Every structure is written in C-alpha cells, then in structure tokens.
Amino acid sequence: MTPIRRLAGRILIGIALAVALVYIGDSISVRVRKMHATSSDPYETVTALRILAIADKGNKTEYTIDQLQPQQTAECVHALFPHNRDLPCWYLKRKFSQPIPMTIVPAYSWRSATIGSRRMVRRAGT
C-alpha cells in the first residue's frame, strides 16, 4: 500500500469519525434540552406563506400566494442535523423562504397522440 493511499484512507476515517462525533453531540444536546422543560425547547413550529413562482413569457416570473393552501406549517428542531424525523430549523426556514417554481404545461391529449401513432403504424405497414 502506497503512503499516499494510506494517508488518504486515514483522512477519510478521520472525517467520518469527526462527523459521527458531531452528530452524537448534537443528538445528546437535543435529548437533554427535550427532557428539561425550559425556554430552550429544541422543537419549534414554523409557519410561512406558500409563494408560487410562475414563469411568464420573456423570462419574467410572477409571484403569487397559493390560493388552495396559503400557509405551510412544519415542526423543526434546533440542531445541526435532523432528529426524530424533524428537519433542522435553519434548513426548514431557508426552504420555506424560497418560492415554489411552477411551469405552465400546454394541454396534451393522450388520445389524439395514440390515434396518430396508430395511423403512422398503418401507413408504415401498407
């Protein structure tokens, strides 16, 4: 085994151990804060408006609030990593602040496409 390969393997193992230690520390921090009922509760409910970004002609974008579901709500955890199926608050707040991209797709008739393909098959077969 070459010295460079051995060094690269040790660096990878070191990085993996560092990430594992940070995750364990983060998990312990969340559990301790969850057990003690204080103002430093690790869980929070985030509510934000659902903003849609609709692409228009000429590379313009129109922003509008979703009429069907105007608010989005989710529970998050104050931590670096996800815990108990809850996303971290720093990630969820950033995700909620981004508009949801929407594209307008022209109407497509599946039936007319299949009929047209049958005609093409018949023409090619005759």
Q: What is the pLDDT of residues 33-73, one digit of tens each?
A: 888 877 778 888 999 999 999 888 888 888 999 888 899 99
| Residue predicted with more confidence, 103 or 99 | 99
Which string of DSSP letters, residue by residue, matches the chain? --HHHHHHHHHHHHHHHHHHHHHHHHHHHHHHHHHS-SS--SEEEEEEE-EEEEE-GGG-EEEEE-SS--EEEEEEESSSS-BTTBEEHHHHHHHHHSPEEE-PPPP--HHHHHHHHHHHHHHHH-
Q: Domain locations in the chain?
A: 3-106
Backbone angles phi, psi at 98, to 5 degrees: -85, 135
Confidence of residue 23 (pLDDT cuts 50, 70, 90): very high
| Sequence-separated (6 or more) residues with CB below 8 Å from residue 78 | 30, 33, 42, 43, 44, 88, 89
